[in-house]
Chain A
Amino acid sequence: MSCTDLFGEGGYFGLALTVLVYWASSVLWQRSGRAALLHPILISTLFIAAVLMAFECSYEGYAAQSRPLMLGLGLVVVLLAVPLARNRAYLLASVQPCWVALAIGAAVSIVATLALPLSMGADPSVIPTMLPKSATAGVAVGISAEIGGVPGLTAVIVIGAGVVGASLGPKVLDLAGVADERARGFALGVASHAIGTARALQMSDTAGAFAALGMVLNAVLTVLLAPVVMMLVSV
């Protein structure tokens, strides 16, 4: 059995593998009492990456076979209109906390994303690649290209931010005593876009609605702010 047998053109092994591994890791996660570091997105990703690397298979073959799931990603985002519509009275009643939390979140996110790598001696050229970190991948990659980053690396960092937020985020919120479902959802959406939103939907419909809102607001804000921050930094 070689890589071309398994991940050749027109096959479905990659798709089947992904669904099967995700299902198994979901069962594991439920059994563990939803342990943060066993979140199924994290475990499935690492497992499949390990399989591909162990058999020296390229990512391209696997990606081509998993294409239906990537198309599903777009439909999942469109479907988020459902919790938004269901919770619209709730959303309208929370306009002030949304704006304040979004503004503070964007400020903290930008400062931390700039200050941490630079204080560790990283080259300033990494800034445009890292800056759109919390925006949803489609938006972030576009911004990164526009402000002179490396889009491929931005995509990895964005997905990393999603997985970190989805796995560790709920634990961080527990420790900080954030019990309000709206606040928990909004925080996951702002910091971890669609992956955080998928996690918030596992907490409650209300958390999911606020996560979807936070994700969209943060994406729009990042589009507007990233070029401004780049201008300020390069002066």
Chain B
Amino acid sequence: MSGVMQLLVAAFLGELFALVLGLPVPGPAVGMSILFVAFVCAGWQIEGIERLFDALAPHFGVVFVPAAVGFIASLDLLAHAWLAAAMAVLVATCLAVLTVGLAFQAVARICARGETS
């Protein structure tokens, strides 16, 4: 199966499972899990889809732009809560990046030290 077919099959199965089973997680996340399991357990060849992924990965950002522009449709909603929303987004996101990064690095160091000693 070509890489493109693998991608489409996994995406389709993900949407199908999410819909039929009524999962709270969206179809693409289920599709990602299916594709991962297919590579690791079902012996799907990864080479074809790897070329596709490596060619597209630097440009992934473009798919988020149309959804992000959607904020202009909510400007009246934002008018009431813009300060709270802006603070939560700016400060809480930076805090989350900071603490997750520091915690991961600290625990990884402790684990590495435990293995070498």
- We find that the number of chain A residues with CB closer than 8 angstroms to chain B is 114
Q: State whether B84 touches A104 (Cβ < 8 A).
A: no
CB pair A73–B25 under 8 Å, yes or no, is: no
Chain A residues with CB under 8 Å of B93's CB are: 133-134, 160-161, 164-165, 168-169, 191-192
Are A139 and B64 touching (Cβ within 8 A)?
Answer: no
A78, A82, A129: the one contacting B46 at CB < 8 Å is A82
Tell me the B33-72 residues at the A interface (CB within 8 Å): 33-36, 38-40, 46, 49-50, 52-53, 56-72
Assess whether B111 is interfacial by the CB under 8 Å rule. Answer: yes
Question: How many A-B contacts if CB must be within 8 Å?
Answer: 322
The answer to whether A85 touches B39, judged by C-beta atoms less than 8 angstroms apart, is: yes
Q: Is the CB of B89 within 8 A of A155?
A: no
- Give bound CA distance, A204 to B108, whole Å: 18
- Interchain CA distance A26-B59 in the complex, whole Å: 9
**Contact residues of A: prevailing secondary structure:** helix
Task: Specify which of A97, A166, A198 lies most central, judged by the most chain B CB atoms within 10 Å of its CB.
Answer: A97
Q: What number of B residues sit within 8 Å (CB to CB) of A?
A: 73
Q: For chain B, what secondary structure do more than half of its interface residues adopt (helix, strand, loop), or is it mixed?
A: helix
When the two chains form their complex, are residues A59 and B64 in contact, meaning their CB atoms are under 8 A apart? Answer: no
Say whether A116 faces chain B, with CB atoms less than 8 Å apart.
yes
Complex interface bits, B76-117 against A, C-beta within 8 A gives 1, otherwise 0:
011001011111111111111111111111011001000000
A105 touches B99 (CB 8 A): yes
Q: Which residues of A contact B10 (CB under 8 A)?
A: 78, 81
* Contact with A192, one of B32, B69, B71, B97 (Cβ below 8 angstroms): B97
Which B residues contact A (CB, under 8 angstroms)? 7, 10-11, 14-15, 24-29, 31-36, 38-40, 46, 49-50, 52-53, 56-74, 77-78, 81, 83-105, 107-108, 111
Q: Which chain A residues have a beta carbon within 8 Å of chain B's beta carbons?
A: 14, 18-19, 21-22, 26, 39-41, 44-45, 48-49, 52-53, 58-60, 62-63, 66-67, 69-70, 72-86, 88, 94, 96-98, 100-102, 104-105, 108-109, 112-113, 116-117, 120, 122-123, 126, 129-130, 133-134, 136-139, 142-143, 150, 152-153, 155-157, 159-166, 168-169, 172-173, 176, 178-180, 182-184, 186-188, 190-192, 194-195, 197-199, 201-202, 208, 212, 214, 216, 219-220, 223
Mind listing 17 A-B residue pairs with CB under 8 Å? Answer: A22-B65, A41-B68, A48-B65, A59-B73, A60-B73, A85-B36, A97-B103, A120-B83, A138-B28, A156-B71, A159-B67, A165-B93, A169-B97, A173-B101, A187-B100, A187-B104, A195-B64
Nearest 10 A-B pairs (CB), nearest first?
A117-B84, A122-B84, A81-B35, A138-B26, A66-B66, A187-B101, A77-B28, A183-B104, A112-B92, A191-B96
